[in-house]
Every structure is written in structure tokens, then in C-alpha cells.
A and B are shown apart, each in its own frame.
Chain A
Amino acid sequence: MWLIEVLGFGQKGWGGLLIAGAVMTLCVTIVALLIGAVVGTLVAWAKLSGGGVLRTLGNAYTTVFRGVPELLIIYLVYFGGSGAVTAIGRYLGYEGFLGLPSFAAGALAVGIISGAYQAEVYRGAFLAIPKGELEAAEAIGMHRGLRFRRIIAPQVLRFAIPGIGNVWQLSLKDSALVSVTGLADLMRTSQVAAGSTRQYFLFFIAGGCLYLILTSLSDRLFTRAERRANRSMPSSFGQA
């Protein structure tokens, strides 16, 4: 069978490479989500409790990186990052062009974008904490660190799970754009496979199916996480 041969794992098959591409996509997205979590926490903190300057900076960050096309940000990080690396190389005595590794550039770019979305998610989750609980914690003498660890962080994480799930789906799809830097992710691999076999339709369908598997599996995972995080809460409207 020709179809099995082309999509399979044999000598002429692209199956193994497509799976490897899917794993690469997952890796980029996971690293990007972690970068975004760090960035998002800092930006949310700046927007919630920073002074005038920090708040303006936080607002500018979320506005710019949610309002500008993802592709443009990937170009910025990839070309800008390579320029910076080349400048550092020249300073250290290496002549010539140095490129930023496409994995690093891609994960950083998608992370910067997902940080802007995650900042809004964390901010919303923080604002969903009943004020009385924060006041109660203060009233029994918890200092800031303890209050953050015992009262704020657990609830923010619980309230943020649905939002993080959305950001994850967005990042997973944004990571397809990283293929423009030449990273062999699922998108790039299907493109190469399609180009070299001239079976465009088949390989883009196959790549699309693998993306669908990734998104629907992770959707199920997040629903389970939400249910688990809320298992001590009285069941309420809109619960997963």
C-alpha cells in the first residue's frame, strides 16, 4: 500500500519524522509556556501593585504583544536576537554572522507572546480572590511572603487553570509559525515532506491531524486538572 509506505515508519516513510516533529512542537510550546509563566507573573505583578511607571510598562507590554501579529514578533526575536548574538561574538573576537538557535528564538518569541496573555490570566485570577480572605490573612498577622504562599498563590493557580488552558492552545498553534525560522517542528516537517514527495494535500492533512490530536489531548488534560483543583470546592455554575 502506497499510503502506508509514505506515512509509515519504513525507509520511505515520513511517519517517524512527523512524530518527531510533533514532539518538537510540544517541547517548544512547553518551554514557551514556562517562559511565559515567568514573564506573565512579573507583568501581572507590575500591573497590579506597581507604581505609575511599572503599571504603564505592564500595560504597554500586554497591549503591544497581544496586538501585533505573532509572525512579526517571531521575526523580531529571530533576526534581532541573531543581530545581538553576532554583536556579542564580534566583541569576543569572532568575525562573521552568528545565528540564534531557532529553538531558542522560537521558544522565546512564543514565550513573550504567551507571557502577555498569561499576565492577563493571572491578573484576572488574582482579582477573583475574595478581598475578605486577604484582609483576614493580614488580620491574623501573616506577612507578605506567607500570605502570598498560603493564600494568594494556591487560589490564583486554581482560578487560572481554564485561562492557562486557553493560552496553551494559543501557544500550541503559534508554535507552528516558528517553522519560518527553520526549526524542524510538526509544521516544518509536514512542509518538507509535502515538498519532497509532491503530496501536499496528504501531508498537510496528516500534520493537521497530529495538531488536532495534540490540542484535543491537552484540552482533556486541562479539564481534568481543573476538576482536580476544584475537588474541594462546592460544585458551582460553569464548573468543568
Chain B
Amino acid sequence: MTVAIDRATGKRRGDRAPRPGLGQRLKNGYQKYWYAYAMIAPVAVVLGVLVLYPLVYGFYLTLTDANSLNTARTIGVNHIDATYKFIGLGNYKDILFGPLSYDRFWSHFVWTIVWTVACVVLHYSIGLGLALLLNQKFRGRTFYRLVLVMPWAVPTFVTVFGWRFMLADGGIINASLHALHLPTPLWLEDTFWERVAAVMVNTWCGVPFMMLSLLGGLQAIDATLYEAAEMDGASAWQRFRYVTLPGLRSVSSTVVLLGIIWTFNQFAIIFLLFGNTGTDAQILVTWAYQLGFGQQPRDFAQSAAYGILLLAVLIVFTSFYRRWLNRNEQQLAI
């Protein structure tokens, strides 16, 4: 029995006999690959059942007017059959161009973009700054590193509540601002300050990951490159610009992509910080959740349509990002 093990068969690929017929190929293929398929079968089944089927089903729901009043449900012993009907692309039309589309979709869309850009820029720049500081040789850097990782070590759903206590009106932050005779914004009520608070909390939570990844990248840069740059009379800025940044390129492109995806999809922070209040500070993900689960009746169809639109935005963005990286001859590390 031959098992399709790449590095074993791959070498012999060149001197293979002429292509056999279809039936023979299927048979060969089966004999060769059954083991591979058997190995991925569990995950293919799981992903198929848990990801692909819901995705297709979810897409179907977006073409209907399903909500919690007309889907199949069981109340006590009575089972009520689903009565929602197919309405084509109506939901998408309503979300993107309907009369309320600005308030309901586009304002959240713009805010989501602003949120993602602001958070990732802050994550990356603060993370890089701290990584550069930690990459020096001095006493106590292990200690600093351990403390700085703390926002990542403590579960987000715990720390967000800590922030809520601090940001509450009359909490420590406003009390301190008041003591300093500075204005005390309503962090959890006023739209603008809600947004600022959300970016702040997310930055606080996200910096440690960037910092550690970039620190790993910095430590992998060959020290002799710095020596050579020094010999050529490069200034500190030039060493940073022409040695450090290019050396970090592959780590950077990966963590920035991950950061963008994670921030764009960030649910826990905004959901826990504002709950069902703060409508204008909801990004698209939490807004979609609120449509589907945070109101009565639950609007399943619209919520799912938001989900599909979000996924579409991410896929388009990621493929452009990869293309842009390929053009610059960089490889993504994932």
C-alpha cells in the first residue's frame, strides 16, 4: 500500500508513467490518499457541520425575514413551525440603501473603520516602543516584562469590569480629573467619550501581545547588522529605519494583519463595557449581535446579514493585504 507522503512521492514525481485513465486515477487516488483523508476527516466533518453548514444556513436566513416571532420554536409543549418567508436580497438592500441605512449601518461602519485603525496604530506604536525599551540591557527588564504583560494575562472579561468601575461617573478616573480641575467627561454615556473609552480599554488590552511579538522579532535580528551599520556611520535613527524596521517586517506584517482582524471582530470589550446601552459606540459586530439578541423581537435575518457583510469586508481586505505584501515580496508568517 502506498501512502501519499509528500516528501517521499514528490521526488519521484518527475519520472512518472503517462497519465492513466480516470477510473484508474480515482482508484489510485483513493489508495494513495485514503489515509490523508481519514486523518482530516474529523476536522472536515467538524468544520463542515459547525462552520460551513451554519454559514450556508446563515446566508439563507439573510434572504428571509426571520425573527424570533416567526422562526420555529417550542413554548412549553407546543411546537410552533417556522413561518418566515423568502424575500431575496431585501435585507441587504435595506441595510445598505434603506431609509435608515445611515443611522443603522454606515455610521457604525465608519466608526468600525476608525476604531480598527486607531486601535491597531496605537497597539503597534506603543507595542513597538515598549519592545524597543525592553530590548536594551539593564536591570529589571524581566520584571518590567512580567508587569507589562498583565493586561493579557488577566482574562478580558475581568479587566473590562475593572475599567468600568474606574470609568464610571464618580469613579477614580473622573475623581482624579476633578481633583486636577480638568473636565470630567461622561465616559460611559456620552457618545464621543464612549468611543474614546473603548479605544483606550482595547489599547490597554491589546498592547502586550504586540509588545511580546515585536520583542521576539527584535531579538531575532542579527546583532552584526547593527555593527555593520555603525561602522558605516549610521545614526541611531538610521539604524532604526534601515536595520530594525526591515528586520521586523515579516513579524510586523503578520501581527498587524492579526491585529486588524481581531480588532475589527472585537466583541467582548465593547459588549461588556457598554452592554445594551451606548448604541452609537457599538461597532458592527456588537451592533449585529444587538440586533439579533439584544432586542425584542430578535431580528435574526438582519443580524445574519450584517455578519455576512462583515465577513465580506474582511475577505476583501485580507486578499488586498496579501496581494500588497506579495508585491513587496514579503511573506505572511501565517
Query: Are A and B part of the same complex?
Result: no
